Amino acid sequence: MSLLRTRGLSRHFGGLIAVEGVDFDLEEGEVRALIGPNGAGKSTLVGMISGRIPPSRGTIEFDGVEITSWPAHKRIMAGMSYTFQITSVFPGLPVRENVALAARRRVPQGEVTQAVEAALARVGLGERIDQEAGDLSYGHQRLLEIAMGLVQRPRLLILDEPTQGLAEGEVAQFKALIRDLAGATTILLIEHNMQVVMEVADRVSVLNFGEMLAQGTPEEIRANAEVQAAYLGGGDAAA
């Protein structure tokens, strides 16, 4: 059974159709990449899945339960975690406390310290645990946000352009992290870096003008003529 399932999911903003009739199935343990041109509706789709944007119509199921009307915090408690395209860390707090605040949503109190340290070590920020978050580089703030997602022990981890602002070595570390998480955590990855997509995703979904254009393995997507025309043909790797 799919961990996440949408049927006919749509969002209209007045006369603007942002997402229209999206059917989407995400299997447990899968790494799925969501790609598409600028304005394709990726962030709107993910906003509906995470409970931050109400759909105009359609349904969302998580682990067999319809959650279409659930608020975002209830989805977090059910096992969803969403990291934003723009960093949402607390700059005036230490790295440790940023992750601890996220941990308290899902982790028993007696396990918070160990969970925080483990999450930061996993993203390569263990040595910066007492540093003020606002003093981190932008790339390290993105990694901190991923740690804040991981510490919640999510069943579904949604990452919105996580490699944006990362140095080459940090991108390599991120790819290794996704490979390590694969299978144990279901991941939905909105990503502009096509090399990352092709290396880490089990399957790829392509949005275009708010509709699902294609879904398949990375190799199938790379060879798809419609996808090439809409997104990949000009070598454009922007999401």
Q: Is residue 108 part of a domain?
A: yes
pTM, two decimal places = 0.89
Q: Give me the pLDDT at residue 88, please.
A: 77
Q: Give me the pLDDT at residue 239, please.
A: 37
Task: Quote the domain boundaries for residue 93.
Answer: 89-153
Maximum CA pair distance of the chain? 53
β-strand pairing of 186-190 with 156-160:
parallel
Report helix angle 168-181 to 138-150, nearest 10.
Answer: 10
Q: Is residue 102 part of a domain?
A: yes
Q: Give me the pLDDT at residue 84, please.
A: 66
Q: Is residue 199 part of a domain?
A: no
3-state percent helix, strand, coil for the chain, nearest multiple of 5? 40, 30, 35
Q: Give me the pLDDT at residue 116, please.
A: 97
Q: Is residue 147 part of a domain?
A: yes
Q: Is residue 232 part of a domain?
A: no
Q: Give me the pLDDT at residue 233, please.
A: 60
Q: Give me the pLDDT at residue 87, please.
A: 62
Q: Is residue 138 part of a domain?
A: yes
Q: Is residue 95 part of a domain?
A: yes
Residues of the chain short of pLDDT 50, as ranges, are: 234-239
Q: Is residue 136 part of a domain?
A: yes
State the total domains in the chain.
1
CA distance 94 to 110: 20
